[in-house]
Amino acid sequence: MVIRYVCTDCGREISTDEVVYRCPACAPPAGGAVQTGFQRGNLSVVFEPTTSFERGNPVDPLAFLPLPVRNAAGFPVGETPLIPVGRLRAKTGFPRLFLKLDSLNPSGSLKDRASLLVMEQAKVHASDTVTLASTGNAGASMACAGAACGLTVVLFVPGAAPRAKLLQSLLYGARVVPIQGTYDDAFSLSIEYTRAFGGINRNTGFNPFTVEGKKTVSIELYNQLGCRVPDVVYVPVGDGVIISGACKGFADLVQAGLAEKIPVMVAVQAEGSNAIARSWREKREVVLTRASTIADSLSVASPACGRMALDWLARTGGRAVEVSDEEISGAQAELGRESGSFVEPSSAAAWAGFLKDRANVEPSATVVVLLTGTGFKDTGAAEKLVSMPQPCPADLASAGELLEKQYGAGGRRGGRS
């Protein structure tokens, strides 16, 4: 099946039924030097719908994808809840505030949206292996998809990735290669591996289907908001692929005549991993020598989709916000305590970004904060936010003592403090 791509750097069009990654004119050829610095030559799939859509009626998000998805039932991605967070609405003064719980996808992150499409890509190209680099979630996601449909997944990860994400990938049967190096090193190595041994490479931003697959989140938001797009969306950003995918989804809705506008997109980055935010602020390309944040999924020095993400920010009147690790931890605790959402630090960054940026938003706006990954994968981060009570004898007096010691003078009584 022939698919049309456009290079987001030079504008060149490529129509092919073969697997393509980056624009050959802008990126080094296969076998050439692996790119370093701000990466070039991202390809964007041209939206060429095969069905017609009716304005005002919900649409099938999968109908927006470039390949027919046949394996959706075995890997049930998407249709994640959009929750009207009553307590947080009252607290922040935004009556149309929503959290999109994409942490409830099969492997626990939004990455499943891309893995679903790459899984189809592998089937179409009769490839039995998918290789990728990951900070943890994309790997666990592809491993989950691979287990569902019988693909071998070879996964390069930084050795410091959260253990639960590696355990998850191993349990799904992936071949996990932890490396003594960073995510950026794993990224380069996995491309070399694919060049040497074949198969599909699912590196985020490198394989154009990773941006394309993630756009279904925006189509779902459109359906969930009564066939309207939100006004403002907060997205946690590392490589810039999720935000580029979300923007592409909204742009496709506009192209299909279903929506009038692309929402204002706000890219939220951790201060210690802020290549895209700094580039946006300083209006020049900034690549980091080292990235470091408690939000491990956002930790990237040379974003694979940095140029594309910046371009979307410019086109949508969006902006970038930076949050500290302390703000991320505070946001993680608040989301748990006041909305019942247990998310990993990277997701919490989006909430921290909203808190920091909300003065720039009309309170009547429809605001969506995208929660991209579950907290169950990184219980170490959560443990730092709470204090675990020690077991006490099983009698009322001891329970009362524990409650008072742990939760203060009113601890014995019911009710929420």
Residue 272 token pair: 């210690």
- Which residue, among 236, 245, 244, has the nearest Cα to 268 in the 3D structure? 236
- Stated as kind and residue range, the H or E segment containing 156 is strand 152-158
Q: Using the minimum distance from each CB to ligand PLP, give the nearer residue, 119 or 267.
A: 267
Q: CB 336 → ligand PLP: shortest distance, Å?
A: 16
Q: CB 297 → ligand PLP: shortest distance, Å?
A: 3
Q: Using the minimum distance from each CB to ligand PLP, give the nearer residue, 135 or 339.
A: 135
Task: Give CA separation, 136 vs 157, 190, 224, 380, in Å.
Answer: 7, 14, 29, 15
- Report the distance separating Cα 238 and Cα 288, nearest Å: 12
Q: CB 80 → ligand PLP: shortest distance, Å?
A: 13
Q: CB 373 → ligand PLP: shortest distance, Å?
A: 3
- Report the distance separating Cα 248 and Cα 43, nearest Å: 12
Q: Using the minimum distance from each CB to ligand PLP, give the nearer residue, 123 or 307.
A: 307
Q: CB 392 → ligand PLP: shortest distance, Å?
A: 36
Binding site for ligand PLP (CB under 6 A): 109, 111, 135, 137-138, 204, 236-242, 297-298, 344, 346-347, 372-373
Q: Using the minimum distance from each CB to ligand PLP, give the nearer residue, 138 or 186.
A: 138
Residue 218 token pair: 């925006």
Residue of this chain nearest to ligand PLP (CB atom): 373
Q: Using the minimum distance from each CB to ligand PLP, give the nearer residue, 258 or 305.
A: 305
3-state DSSP assignment of residue 49: coil
Q: Using the minimum distance from each CB to ligand PLP, give the nearer residue, 131 or 347.
A: 347
Q: Using the minimum distance from each CB to ligand PLP, give the nearer residue, 111 or 215.
A: 111
Its sign, for the CA torsion 117, 191, 24, 211, is: positive
Q: CB 153 → ligand PLP: shortest distance, Å?
A: 16
CB 152 within 8 A of CB 146: yes
Q: Using the minimum distance from each CB to ligand PLP, give the nearer residue, 9 or 344.
A: 344
Q: CB 257 → ligand PLP: shortest distance, Å?
A: 28
Q: CB 107 → ligand PLP: shortest distance, Å?
A: 10
